[in-house]
Chain A
Amino acid sequence: MDIPRELIIGSDTITYRPKWFIPSHYSAQYAGLVGFMSIGAGYDFGRRYKPTLYYGLLSHNFGGSSVTVHTISLKNSWDLFKPGMLGNLTPRAGFSINWGHTNNTFHRLPPHYPDKYYFQNKVHLVPFWGGEYKISLNGNGLLKKMGIYAEMSTLDAYVLEMIRTKYVTPFKIWNLSMGVTLYLN
């Protein structure tokens, strides 16, 4: 789809990728602090870095929360090993930047508060680690591979309490998410 093409202008040769903006992969995820379900699209930068932008929804009918939460998440994922080193399994880790929109969350405090009464609570960092099992689809069509992934993630605020208190042990802060990724040719 985006095989580099060459363009010759005078004595210069310019190499460019047509349709560079088309994402290289699409994902659908269950849980993982991005809502009940989320969908995302992303790019492969280099061999290891894969950023993916997700939108997730949590509501009464969609995850059993009495209040609706919209989440936009930029997941920055790095493959931990060289491709193929563990066969079809790719361990990976990284962090997401989550922006949550719901009741009583804010970037800047509303004007009726004194300065610095609260820290902003709309944006959170979400560290994660996990792995993806890739299946080659061997087709010459649109799809190259399918990945099934599972990840453990946590929230910056929970990590802080794990550091600050004995009560919050490492096992109290992690949660599981699962998803499917389609890689395009």
Chain B
Amino acid sequence: MVQKHTYIKRSLFLIVTAFAVVSCDNLFEYSPYKAGVRAPDKDLNIKAIREIENLNSSGFRPFTIGLVGDSHTYYDYYEKQVAHLNKKDDLDFVVHLGDITLSGIYREFIWYKEISSKLKHPLITIIGNHDYLSNGEFLYKEMFGPYNFSIVHNNCLLVFLDNVIWEKNVQDPDFEWLEEVLKDSEDYIYRLVFSHIPPWSDQFNTGNEFYFNMLMEKYNVDFSIHGHTHHFWQGRPYKNGPPYLTISSSQKGEVFFLDVKADTLQVRREHY
């Protein structure tokens, strides 16, 4: 009798364990600080840019971009944003303006990637300050590609800049790269710059703030688009230079759209 009980208990224990094991998504995890992903989770930005190239035309064509940012671990809200974006058929692509994680740890990247994979539009993800924590810097590079990059889409120059300072322990963003990419851009219809941190925010000292806007002004950038603040704001914070936009974080219940038209750039804000 005692032996029978032991047998039943032991079997139950093994069944529960086996069920838990086969149900898990990532069976083995060596460290939360692990960096390194395998295909098909590699170079997601590079793959997205290849998809976007199929929609590109050599001359100007009006187009719309979806904008989200600061999804952190607001996964339920980010899923709703993805579902809302999937209702739209007229988007060329979507840009996530950074802070896809809270602590830059392994499963946060995996969860972001899993939810994002449900998006039917190509998605470009830029790096935010939180994504630099732990080994997030290296995981980002493997999962998405280079930190700074630019594309020409429908004769518009779109620049994606990593402007994180504190987490990289640097003095300023890579202004040399930014200037290099903006230098010969006067022939494009629009010049749009996407980066996580707006120049008036905490990580920028006065010199960096001035220099960032000075480059925007010098090369006639038409719009500077950011996340980081978790709040929607649009306006001209400086006497000279372009208009700026910051979009709200995922849990605020909003999704943003940028309509790039021949005569104007228009921001739309929709509640999901």
CA distance A152 to B20 in the complex (A): 8
CA distance A173 to B105 in the complex (A): 13
Q: Which residues of the partner chain B approach A65 to less than 8 Å between Cβ atoms?
A: 30-31, 34-36, 135
Interface residue count for A (Cβ, 8 Å)? 54
Q: Which residues of the partner chain A approach B10 to less than 8 Å between Cβ atoms?
A: 86-87, 89
* Known A103-B135, A166-B76; contact A69-B34, beta-carbon cutoff 8 A: yes
Residue of A nearest to B23 (CB): A171
B79 adjacent to chain A (CB < 8 Å) = yes
Q: Which residues of the partner chain A approach B76 to less than 8 Å between Cβ atoms?
A: 165-167
A131 adjacent to chain B (CB < 8 Å) = yes
B166 adjacent to chain A (CB < 8 Å) = yes
Q: How far is the CB of A68 from chain B (nearest CB, A)?
A: 10
* Complex contact A85–B30 (CB within 8 A): no
CA distance A112 to B119 in the complex (A): 38
Q: Which residues of the partner chain A approach B29 to less than 8 Å between Cβ atoms?
A: 31-33, 175
Q: How far is the CB of B60 from chain A (nearest CB, A)?
A: 39
CA distance A152 to B30 in the complex (A): 13
A150 adjacent to chain B (CB < 8 Å) = yes
From B17, B28, B135, A175 is in contact (CB under 8 Å) with: B28
* Complex contact B32–A157 (CB within 8 A): yes
From B31, B103, B111, A58 is in contact (CB under 8 Å) with: B31
Residue of B nearest to A81 (CB): B9
Interface of chain B, main secondary structure:
loop
* Complex contact A171–B73 (CB within 8 A): no
Residue of B nearest to A124 (CB): B32
* Complex contact A161–B20 (CB within 8 A): no
CA distance A66 to B143 in the complex (A): 12
CA distance A155 to B102 in the complex (A): 14
* Complex contact A64–B36 (CB within 8 A): yes
B27 adjacent to chain A (CB < 8 Å) = yes
From B28, B102, B135, B142, A69 is in contact (CB under 8 Å) with: B135
Question: Which of B23, B33, B102 has its CB near the most chain A CB atoms (within 10 A)?
Answer: B33
* Complex contact B111–A67 (CB within 8 A): no
Q: Which residues of the partner chain B approach A105 to less than 8 Å between Cβ atoms?
A: 33, 133-134
A107 adjacent to chain B (CB < 8 Å) = no
Q: Which residues of the partner chain B approach A31 to less than 8 Å between Cβ atoms?
A: 28-30
A118 adjacent to chain B (CB < 8 Å) = yes
CA distance A36 to B37 in the complex (A): 15
Supply 4 further A-B pairs (C-beta < 8 A) apart from A33-B29, A86-B13. Answer: A31-B30, A33-B30, A63-B34, A157-B102
Binding site for B on A (CB under 8 A): 30-36, 56, 58, 63-67, 69, 71, 85-87, 89, 91, 100, 102-105, 110, 112-114, 117-118, 121, 124, 130-131, 150, 152, 155, 157-158, 161, 164-168, 171-177
Q: Would you list 18 pairs from A and B whose C-beta atoms are within 8 A, ordered by A residue? A: A64-B36, A65-B31, A65-B36, A66-B36, A66-B138, A67-B135, A67-B138, A102-B33, A112-B166, A117-B166, A152-B21, A157-B105, A167-B79, A167-B111, A168-B75, A173-B107, A175-B27, A176-B27
